[in-house]
Structure 1
Amino acid sequence: MTQDSTDVEVGGSKLRKLRERGMDAATRAVPFKSTPDLTFFHPPSVYDFRERTEVFGPISDVIPSSPVFEMYPVGLTSIADYLEQNGYDVQIVNLANQMLSDPDYDAEAEIRRSRARYFGIDLHWLPHCHGAIEIARLVKKHHPDAPVIFGGLSSSYFHEELIEYDCVDYVVRGDSTEEPVLQLIDRLERGGDLQEVDNLVWKDDGEVVTNPMEFIPSQLDYVSLPSYEYVLRSVVKYGSLKKTLPYRNWLDDPMTLLLPNRGCARDCTFCGGSKSSYERTTGRTSPAFRSPEQLIRDVRDITAFSKGPIFVINDIRMGGPDYARSFLHLLEGADVDNQFIFELFGPADEELFELMDRATADYSLQLSIESHSEEVRKNVGKFASTNEAFERTLEYALDHGCNKIDVFFMIGLPHQTYEDAVGDVEYARHLLETIDDGRIAPFTAPLAPFLDPGSPGFENPEEHGYRRLCESLEDHREQLLQPSWKYMLSYETEWMNRDEIVDATYEAAFGMNEVKYEFDVIDEPTYEEVKTRLEKSQEVLEAVDEVVDLPEAERQERLAQLHEELGDFGEYSICGNEELTWNNDGFRNLFTLGKVGLRVLLRSAKRSRKSDVVAKTSSNTARR
């Protein structure tokens, strides 16, 4: 390991105490220092999306990001914070968001101006596979000697292919790469054997070396996840809020995240974050959790600057009933006035909602039921229960103070016929007729653009009724450049081909829009806006179908004409712009935001200057 290190046992877990890495700590936390050691660039899905004519369609309508997928993974903040706690300066630059928000923003100029010595690029969600490689090529163009490091679930899955690109020097595998990235930067800074870096894939004189996957932490309290303290510190340190914004419109509608765990106990057929996918890709056989006590500290960090909603990622019951009860009891004692949004992956009893009601001033639910068909759900793996049990869950929640319940259906599932997909609309009508008092909002969306590599459906397509149209990383990169979202789809099923998946998506979307308007879930302007966008979407897709087989020059000319006519087609084309927002009181105030960031930065600098040599706790190094 690193020089001057010692290992100690704490609570049955091994923690590595690292001494200062041969540098004066005081110079490593100077306020307003503007030159990072490592810069993370978050790429858009397709690098030159502003010049291209692709029709992205409804591939991101039910997430905060646009089709550019500008929201970066929260793990970037935990890695950045971890490195800064160990003496390195790290900056996150959200290229995707800036390219989306400012038509004149020059991403290549941003890359060229950077003075960092190391560059990291996330390839976590596969829709970034085109943009990530193109950004890496630009980094190498302007900084040919600077190491380029990739990480994320998709990087981990495709590491063998990814490392073969000339613009990629290192791939760090795993779902918790804070310590491996630190090990790598240490050795690049000070020299040392790269074979000792956990989870690393690298090239030794042109030969690919794959180090063992040994850093798989069994608990997550060793790291801030996500680290909003890092974000606030970074804003003051580098003088830019725009570069670190999580996604477009975040300042107007700031939602923060609480992440209880990494890994999953469920094995949903289509999901690259499923249990078997995590085991295959990251070596993780069971989820790792943050303690309830640490989650409450995370909540306090968030509420220091934000009054907006806090989204609790994943089902808190995954850690067991005692874990969920402990967290909710502690949250009740914290007396927080922010709204909370909880996910559930299966039916819940009345006790859970009693606890949520007592623990929060206001809470909502997001339930991805996927299908009204019990048989389809059984083959998917989520909410594999009766409709009666699901509806009883809704009633319990509404009886115990739940403010809003978003119910999501998906199109493109195993054993799902066309009739099943459009039948979700009638089930939504049933829910609104028999249960709702205005607090249930149904949504439908396609599984798009890709079937996740690593998922059971991707790995065993015949068993689950999928037909893969893409296999390699390069296949998926090329697929993103297809002229419409129909042609971007990387799969078909035994029950629906791509045309039928697209047709079912629009028929269900029209129907869901009608039902929500009929039951006053949405107002008339929203209804008319969504209806118009859906009609335009279908019109454009039909036009693309007519030109897709034309000779290349003629096709590009016609696609360019269509692109000129599209406007903002593809964004919220199957639901309204405001349908997936919650009551949001925003920041405490912008002065508070800046004050908190400055206080955090000065506290960090003061702490660093107290001694010339600082002992630093690295992490739980639970190993298999």
Structure 2
Amino acid sequence: MKSFDVVLLHAPSVYDFRRMDYVHYGPISDVIPSKPVFDMYPAGFFSLASYLEGRGFRVGIFNIAARMVSDQRFDPTRLLRGVDAKVFAIDLHWLVHAHGALELARIVKELKEVPVVLGGFSATYYWREILEGHPYVDAVVLGDTTEPCFHRLVEKVERGEVSRLDDVCNIAYRDSSGRIRYNGITFVPESLDDFAPNYEAVVKVMTRSGISNSLPWSGFLKHPITAVMTYRGCPFNCLGCGGSSFTYHAIFRRSKPGVKSPETLVREFREITERLKAPIFFVNDLQVLGRSFIEKLTRLLAEEKSDVEIFFEFFTPPPRDVLELYRKSGERVYLQISPESHDETVRINYGRSYTNSQLLHFVRAVKELSFERLDLYFMVGLPLQTEESVAGLGAFFEQLHREAAGILDAFVAPLAPFVDPGSPAFHMPSRYGYRILAKRLSEHRRLLLERKWQRMLNYETEWMDREAIARATYKAVLSLLDSKHKLGVVSDGYYREVRRSVLEAMSGAPPSIPDSKETLREEELYPKHSLLRYLTPKLVREIIVYKLRG
């Protein structure tokens, strides 16, 4: 029996997806590392584990979803029977886990007479429905930053004071009489420096839990990529985004970003690279924090003299002088931006307020400054889009490629499966050209059990119903794929394989290459090296030490 104070669990989107008949998941997870059952747990697992470990609690991480993906014979119930903890915590961050997270909570409660806690953005939004309809969930941790509040909750459990939670911040819970209580979201820090992960503690937790049990997602060892969360909050209002300014204000009570200092971000960067020589993604557009912040961070990164690939993302194209700062941050710097649509009218309407001319100038500057690569991400399912209009994506890519041949790539995926709860479009659909087909958590749980990905969508637009969104997605994919092949961005073999995959999907045939992304191949998304290239002596030593300590 493995014993912990706190166990963090990550569920698949649907439990148990392995027992379902064939499901056509389509391209819903094609442009992210995880599988279609979304087996990647939130980055908050690392910060929560670090915070609790630093205060003397013994933490375990068990990625149930990843184990189920990797091993058809894996029995989650058997694993849970062999794990003892004072608190089991399950993420319901992304709404796509609405089915799996709650089913896993039910299983845990049947096996263990201990508190079961949910947390994350979607749990925060649906806290009342969760507590009213799911008696096996004892509490929901609320908001975007919960480490001290969850720590206080665990202390209460340890002292046997679970009936006295009225002074615990950011929670809703069921008291001893069965009444539902809501303490509100009162902890919304502006500095996140105290909540950065400690990667020695992360290695300890993962080793103690078992590396195979605690991988961030099932394919992590094949295509590892790490992330540094730079801030929480956003000034933009992209219509379908549950991390929009509207949502942060209305749901999470955040009026300004919670920020990590450049020094803290570089410390995280250093702690990761000392252990794993994998690409590092700095999450969010640092332009939000101002030029001086970027200048300091990129200078400190340059002083690290690391040879790992560094990824930065942008919400709007930065000016050339800011790009010059980013270029100095490392030897191999990758950039990403999501124009969402090749039609600037669609883009601006959705919440990305820049023109094609601005994007073109940005692409040209990226090439001139010799960045390693620039990836563009487009989306289908936006207001004003039609089946016919999305087919112009390939020609637009060819126009941009003329300015940045050799470093430019692009990807397209549907807005899937959900318009996020709390987003502007979810709350005011008719204003923005949407029709929302599911509002309650229970309705989204039912959608996740559909057999075709387009039937999982919780929305339509005034211009396209769900079937039209699916057809438009495949048209956009083929348009872009044809242009990429024409320009030599993808090989003949890659082109034939992916085109066949897309045509099979359009015809409704099961994929001839199972367990694969439908509209691209994973190696196109991120740099790939042998596993030995990623490992460091420090990581190996720490794993051995913590394995021996148990």
Q: Give the TM-score of the pair, scaled to structure 2.
A: 0.95
Query: Does structure 2 conserve the Cα–Cα contact (< 8 Å) formed by 1:537 and 1:570?
Result: no
Query: Does structure 2 conserve the Cα–Cα contact (< 8 Å) formed by 1:254 and 1:584?
Result: no
Other structure's SS at 1:93 match? strand
Other structure's SS at 1:284 match? coil
Residue from 463, 476, 485 that aligns with 2:444: 476
Other structure's SS at 1:39 match? strand
Query: Does structure 2 conserve the Cα–Cα contact (< 8 Å) formed by 1:163 and 1:169?
Result: yes
| Corresponding residue of 1:439 | 407
| Corresponding residue of 2:390 | 421
Pair 1:395-2:364 in alignment: yes
User: Which whole-Å CA distance do the structure 2 matches of 1:374 and 1:34 have between them?
Assistant: 55
Residue from 247, 257, 268 that aligns with 1:277: 247
| Corresponding residue of 1:18 | none
Q: Deviations over 1:488-507 (max 9, x none)?
A: 11100011111211111111
Residue from 172, 181, 206 that aligns with 2:178: 206
Pair 1:517-2:489 in alignment: no
User: Which whole-Å CA distance do the structure 1 matches of 2:43 and 2:335 have between them?
Assistant: 21
| Corresponding residue of 2:136 | 167
Query: Does structure 1 conserve the Cα–Cα contact (< 8 Å) formed by 2:274 and 2:536?
Result: no
Pair 1:495-2:495 in alignment: no
Pair 1:506-2:474 in alignment: yes
| Corresponding residue of 1:461 | 429
Alignment of 1:327-366 (within 5 A): 327-366=297-336
User: Which whole-Å CA distance do the structure 2 matches of 1:356 and 1:174 have between them?
Assistant: 31
Other structure's SS at 1:195 match? coil
Q: Deviations over 1:81-127 (max 9, x none)?
A: 11111111110100000100111111121122211121000000111
Other structure's SS at 2:517 match? coil
Query: Does structure 1 conserve the Cα–Cα contact (< 8 Å) formed by 2:234 and 2:244?
Result: yes
The alpha carbon displacement at 1:229 in A equals 2.6
The alpha carbon displacement at 1:235 in A equals 3.2
Code of the residue aligned with 2:324 in structure 1: it is E
User: Which whole-Å CA distance do the structure 1 matches of 2:522 and 2:273 have between them?
Assistant: 26
The alpha carbon displacement at 1:600 in A equals 8.0
| Corresponding residue of 2:86 | 117
User: Which whole-Å CA distance do the structure 1 matches of 2:489 and 2:512 have between them?
Assistant: 27
Pair 1:315-2:285 in alignment: yes
Other structure's SS at 2:88 match? strand
Q: Residue 330 and residue 510 in structure 1: after superposition, are their counterparts in 2 closer, same or farther (change >3 A)?
A: same
| Corresponding residue of 2:20 | 52
Residue from 104, 113, 119 that aligns with 1:151: 119
Q: Deviations over 1:563-594 (max 9, x none)?
A: xx546557411112311112546555365422
Query: Does structure 2 conserve the Cα–Cα contact (< 8 Å) formed by 1:38 and 1:120?
Result: yes
User: Which whole-Å CA distance do the structure 1 matches of 2:195 and 2:9 have between them?
Assistant: 21
Q: Deviations over 1:511-557 (max 9, x none)?
A: 1111111111111111111011111111227xxxxxxxxxxxxxxxx
Code of the residue aligned with 2:393 in structure 1: it is D
Q: Percent identity?
A: 37
Residue from 27, 36, 39 that aligns with 2:7: 39
Other structure's SS at 1:573 match? coil
Pair 1:408-2:353 in alignment: no
User: Which whole-Å CA distance do the structure 2 matches of 1:126 and 1:449 have between them?
Assistant: 9
Query: Does structure 2 conserve the Cα–Cα contact (< 8 Å) formed by 1:446 and 1:505?
Result: yes
Alignment of 1:567-578 (within 5 A): 571-578=516-523
Code of the residue aligned with 1:576 in structure 2: it is R
User: Which whole-Å CA distance do the structure 1 matches of 2:370 and 2:26 have between them?
Assistant: 36
Other structure's SS at 1:105 match? coil
Structure 2 alignment gaps of length 5 or more: none
| Corresponding residue of 2:191 | 219
Alignment of 1:1-150 (within 5 A): 34-53=2-21, 54-143=23-112, 145-150=113-118
Structure 1 alignment gaps of length 5 or more: 1-32, 542-564, 606-624
Q: Residue 566 and residue 333 in structure 1: after superposition, are their counterparts in 2 closer, same or farther (change >3 A)?
A: closer
Residue from 256, 268, 276 that aligns with 2:226: 256
| Corresponding residue of 1:589 | 535
Code of the residue aligned with 1:92 in structure 2: it is I
Query: Does structure 1 conserve the Cα–Cα contact (< 8 Å) formed by 2:172 and 2:184?
Result: no
Q: Deviations over 1:391-413 (max 9, x none)?
A: 11111111112111111110011
| Corresponding residue of 1:537 | 505
Query: Does structure 1 conserve the Cα–Cα contact (< 8 Å) formed by 2:223 and 2:528?
Result: no
User: Which whole-Å CA distance do the structure 2 matches of 1:535 and 1:529 have between them?
Assistant: 10
Alignment of 1:373-392 (within 5 A): 373-382=343-352, 384-392=353-361
Q: Residue 292 and residue 185 in structure 1: after superposition, are their counterparts in 2 closer, same or farther (change >3 A)?
A: same
Query: Does structure 1 conserve the Cα–Cα contact (< 8 Å) formed by 2:393 and 2:479?
Result: no
The alpha carbon displacement at 1:439 in A equals 1.2
The alpha carbon displacement at 1:601 in A equals 9.4
Residue from 564, 579, 586 that aligns with 2:524: 579
Other structure's SS at 1:442 match? strand
Other structure's SS at 1:252 match? coil
User: Which whole-Å CA distance do the structure 1 matches of 2:54 and 2:536 have between them?
Assistant: 26
Query: Does structure 1 conserve the Cα–Cα contact (< 8 Å) formed by 2:394 and 2:480?
Result: yes
The alpha carbon displacement at 1:436 in A equals 2.6
The alpha carbon displacement at 1:280 in A equals 2.0
The alpha carbon displacement at 1:281 in A equals 2.0
Other structure's SS at 1:392 match? helix
Q: Residue 513 and residue 397 in structure 1: after superposition, are their counterparts in 2 closer, same or farther (change >3 A)?
A: same
The alpha carbon displacement at 1:358 in A equals 1.7
Other structure's SS at 2:388 match? helix
Code of the residue aligned with 1:496 in structure 2: it is M
The alpha carbon displacement at 1:354 in A equals 1.6
Q: Residue 237 and residue 600 in structure 1: after superposition, are their counterparts in 2 closer, same or farther (change >3 A)?
A: closer
Query: Does structure 2 conserve the Cα–Cα contact (< 8 Å) formed by 1:55 and 1:485?
Result: yes
Query: Does structure 1 conserve the Cα–Cα contact (< 8 Å) formed by 2:231 and 2:259?
Result: yes
The alpha carbon displacement at 1:315 in A equals 0.7
Question: Taking CA–CA contacts closer than 8 Å with sequence separation of 6 or more, which of the two structures ends up with the larger relative contact order?
Answer: 1
Query: Does structure 1 conserve the Cα–Cα contact (< 8 Å) formed by 2:285 and 2:312?
Result: yes
Code of the residue aligned with 1:213 in structure 2: it is I
Q: Deviations over 1:346-400 (max 9, x none)?
A: 0111112222222211111111110111111111112x11111111111111111
The alpha carbon displacement at 1:191 in A equals 4.1
Query: Does structure 1 conserve the Cα–Cα contact (< 8 Å) formed by 2:277 and 2:536?
Result: no
Code of the residue aligned with 2:122 in structure 1: it is S
Code of the residue aligned with 1:91 in structure 2: it is G
User: Which whole-Å CA distance do the structure 1 matches of 2:172 and 2:105 have between them?
Assistant: 16
Query: Does structure 1 conserve the Cα–Cα contact (< 8 Å) formed by 2:49 and 2:202?
Result: no
User: Which whole-Å CA distance do the structure 1 matches of 2:344 and 2:214 have between them?
Assistant: 42
| Corresponding residue of 1:190 | 159
Pair 1:371-2:317 in alignment: no
Q: Deviations over 1:416-456 (max 9, x none)?
A: 22233222222112212x21322111111100111111110
Q: CA RMSD in A?
A: 1.9
Code of the residue aligned with 1:133 in structure 2: it is L
Other structure's SS at 1:194 match? coil
Other structure's SS at 1:121 match? strand
The alpha carbon displacement at 1:34 in A equals 4.3
Query: Does structure 2 conserve the Cα–Cα contact (< 8 Å) formed by 1:233 and 1:598?
Result: no
User: Which whole-Å CA distance do the structure 1 matches of 2:98 and 2:75 have between them?
Assistant: 20
The alpha carbon displacement at 1:598 in A equals 5.4
